[in-house]
Structure 1
Amino acid sequence: MKRASFISLCLLGAFSTIPLAHAAEYTLPAANSRIIGQNQTYTVQAGDRNLQTIARRFDTAAMLILEANDTIAPVPKPGTVVTIPSQMLLPDTPREGIVVNLAELRLYYFPKGENSVQVYPIGIGQQGLETPVSVTRVSQKIPNPTWTPTAGIRARSLANGIELPQVVPAGPNNPLGRFALRLGIGNGEYLIHGTNAQDSVGLRVSSGCIRMNAPDIEKLFAQVAAGTKVTIINEPVKYAVEPDGKQYIEVHRPLSQTVDENTQTVPINFSPELGTLITNAGGDHTLIEKALNRRAGYPVGIPAGKAKAEKATTESVLSVQNSTKGAAMNAEDAGEAVTQ
């Protein structure tokens, strides 16, 4: 597990001109509107050791910054002006409970009875150990969790020369952090939890669990009740027609299926329903294709075309149904093996 050194954290504080931001919160738009936030710019400082450092300033994901800035270096030089993608379209799901969009590495929380949405960056499952698409519930809240590695995790670690203990007690060395929300998927092995490897948030590195920054999971944990609905989707493309007639498309790089796959050029999978929406909206065909190729990770305005877009609008991408399957709640003991 990688951990930022105390010296690095001190340097970050010394050179910081913008306070660390946590839990980006937005007022909900009208029911027939989905666009929230505004993009920002940031000038890289001498103490910004990598994109993860910058991402934590704005409580976003390093991969989202990479998408927005296209050719930026993993360690950008001081003085570089960086676009922070803090404008987004809400996922096309009911505004209820927790919504996770794996493709954009974001978790949305809709507090019950409030006209707001909180948006958090997350780390998700790596290739071959993907976080499952599902509709489930929070089955258990676990403060100060212990970590019981699964047999698979122990075997993979042993193959790399690391022998994991059967149980890691609660504390600063626990990879689950201080708070965990167990999900009712499988045998309860999937969690939303903190981490002692802060640079892993915003990346695909877990064994299927959803990782959050320590301040973020602490805030979410305090608000979420057992039984809260959790919807996990994988939608790299979002499209909205706003009440004023303006159209927006937000395209993320799809999750790679293999280590060698180039997510900037691989065909994007999205549902026939979304393809029909894009076609019927009649937006400018050329700009839609440009956005699908650029994959900037933030909303791009699409003016109306001279005529309705033809089906050919989506011919350059694969069109498949995003499956969402239910899962029964399964409240397990806190000591049960989890994926991390």
Structure 2
Amino acid sequence: MKRVSLITLCLFGAISALSVAHAAEYTLPGNGSRIIGQNQTYTVQAGDKNLQTIARHFDTAAMLIIEANDTIAPVPKPGTVVTIPSQMLLPDTPREGIVVNLAELRLYYFPPGKNSVQVYPIGIGQQGLETPVSVTKVSQKIPNPTWTPTAGIRARSQANGIELPPVIPAGPSNPLGRFALRLGIGHGEYLIHGTNAQDSVGLRVSSGCMRMNAPDIAALFAQVSTGTRVTIINEPVKYAVEPNGRHYIEVHRPLSQTVEENTQTLPITLSPTLASFITRSGGDKAAIDKALYRRAGYPVIIPAAKQAASPESVLSVQNSTKAAAMNAETAETVTHQEKGQG
């Protein structure tokens, strides 16, 4: 984790000439498919100051760029060709409302009545103040929010020599930005909101809320209604068998519990259902292990195992009748840990 921490520190700072891109919106794939988008490449220009500004241009997270490029410098040299991870597998959840996958630092929004999905980068809770996994709803829409720091936030700030006022009024200096969506969990303290610290989007720095770029929260706020379903998951591994028979695995670095943990080598524990699905799908185990080791953060094609039976007509864990009926006590839990750096 130390290498990533140093990169994270370098992400803050200068403003690039790049502009913020509009949110990515994709037509929903049919026939049970889950893959959307295409990866892109970008050649670093002389005016690009850091990865965070490049990430904002493509409306993605800097940590996802780090995953995709592995050994990239925090301030890449002009001429460096950077992979932008804009291909992904949809989370294996109902395509309804807002779906957040904490492990990939992304928020998916499925507009009602439209055959599309919008994908946004988010900042999430730091170690010890994690954003909770849950199924909830939007309980309140708050334009021009004021911010009332909790006692815990004020105490932590005071320990760092910062005295926070009891209430910060709405305006450009407000940490919640111009728009906030209150969620129906806890005591109402969890929000999806904007921020006055744009470089914090795509990182684990909040007290549990989810932060968005200003254009993104404005767009989401305009579309979402009170009562919208919100599903928050934490799944670093996504696996799909597409209608054309191709297997894909998308592996992200798991969320660490402490800043000292190395997320490149931290063990990944698959749920019994997902582990069973991957085993039954017939993908090549060596290729799956390689992807679990590399943790590239975008879909990787997995060839069929030698002498493997033809794949069942099962496209995902969620829509697998057998997986749903399987007794979790007899399903296999797979923990993957490799030595060294990827």
Superposed displacement of residue 3, structure 1: 12
Taking the aligned partners of 2:334 and 2:30, their CA distance within structure 1 comes to 29
Q: Check whether the contact 2:91–2:101 (CA below 8 A) recurs between aligned residues.
A: yes
Deviations 1:118-153 (A, max 9, x none): 000000000000000000000000000000000000
User: Aligned AA for 1:316?
Assistant: H
Superposed displacement of residue 270, structure 1: 2.2
Q: 1:316 and 2:336 equivalent? A: yes
Q: Give the match's secondary structure for 1:129.
A: coil
Q: Check whether the contact 1:193–1:217 (CA below 8 A) recurs between aligned residues.
A: yes
Gaps of 5+ in 2: 1-9, 310-330
Taking the aligned partners of 2:271 and 2:201, their CA distance within structure 1 comes to 28
Superposed displacement of residue 314, structure 1: 3.8
Taking the aligned partners of 1:283 and 1:147, their CA distance within structure 2 comes to 49
Q: How does 1:170-319 map to 2 (within 5 A)?
A: 170-308=170-308, 314=334, 316=336
Q: 1:78 and 2:86 equivalent? A: no
Going from structure 1 to structure 2, the CA distance change for 1:69 and 1:55 (only over 3 Å counts) comes to: same
Superposed displacement of residue 316, structure 1: 3.0
User: Aligned AA for 2:261?
Assistant: E
Superposed displacement of residue 4, structure 1: 8.1
Q: Give the match's secondary structure for 2:336.
A: coil
Q: 1:95 and 2:95 equivalent? A: yes
Taking the aligned partners of 2:11 and 2:148, their CA distance within structure 1 comes to 20
Q: Check whether the contact 2:276–2:332 (CA below 8 A) recurs between aligned residues.
A: no
Superposed displacement of residue 31, structure 1: 4.6
Taking the aligned partners of 2:291 and 2:48, their CA distance within structure 1 comes to 30
Taking the aligned partners of 1:308 and 1:164, their CA distance within structure 2 comes to 61
Cross-structure match for 1:58: 58
Q: Give the match's secondary structure for 1:262.
A: coil
Taking the aligned partners of 2:255 and 2:335, their CA distance within structure 1 comes to 20
Q: Which has the higher contact order (CA 8 A, sep 6+)?
A: 1
Q: Check whether the contact 1:281–1:308 (CA below 8 A) recurs between aligned residues.
A: no
Superposed displacement of residue 312, structure 1: 9.3
Deviations 1:222-263 (A, max 9, x none): 000000000000000000000010000000000011111001
Q: Give the match's secondary structure for 2:52.
A: helix
Q: Check whether the contact 1:285–1:313 (CA below 8 A) recurs between aligned residues.
A: no
User: Aligned AA for 1:251?
Assistant: V
Q: Give the match's secondary structure for 1:230.
A: strand
Q: Give the match's secondary structure for 1:301.
A: strand
Superposition misfits of 4+ residues, deviation over 6 angstroms: 2-5
Q: Give the match's secondary structure for 2:64.
A: helix
Going from structure 1 to structure 2, the CA distance change for 1:315 and 1:176 (only over 3 Å counts) comes to: closer
User: Aligned AA for 2:96?
Assistant: E
Q: Check whether the contact 2:272–2:334 (CA below 8 A) recurs between aligned residues.
A: no
Q: Give the match's secondary structure for 2:287.
A: helix
Taking the aligned partners of 2:12 and 2:221, their CA distance within structure 1 comes to 24
Gaps of 5+ in 1: 319-340
Q: Give the match's secondary structure for 1:95.
A: coil
User: Aligned AA for 2:146?
Assistant: T
Deviations 1:55-82 (A, max 9, x none): 0010000000000000001111111000
Taking the aligned partners of 2:337 and 2:221, their CA distance within structure 1 comes to 39
Q: 1:41 and 2:49 equivalent? A: no
Q: Figure out how many residues of one structure are paired with residues of the other and give that number.
A: 308
Cross-structure match for 2:323: none
Superposed displacement of residue 277, structure 1: 0.7
Bigger CA drift: 300-309 or 64-73? 300-309
Q: How does 1:138-177 map to 2 (within 5 A)?
A: 138-177=138-177
Q: Check whether the contact 2:275–2:332 (CA below 8 A) recurs between aligned residues.
A: no
Going from structure 1 to structure 2, the CA distance change for 1:220 and 1:228 (only over 3 Å counts) comes to: same
Going from structure 1 to structure 2, the CA distance change for 1:42 and 1:230 (only over 3 Å counts) comes to: same
Going from structure 1 to structure 2, the CA distance change for 1:282 and 1:3 (only over 3 Å counts) comes to: closer
Q: Check whether the contact 1:88–1:250 (CA below 8 A) recurs between aligned residues.
A: yes
Deviations 1:260-291 (A, max 9, x none): 10010011122110001100001011100000
User: Aligned AA for 1:146?
Assistant: T
Question: CA RMSD for the aligned pairs?
Answer: 2.0
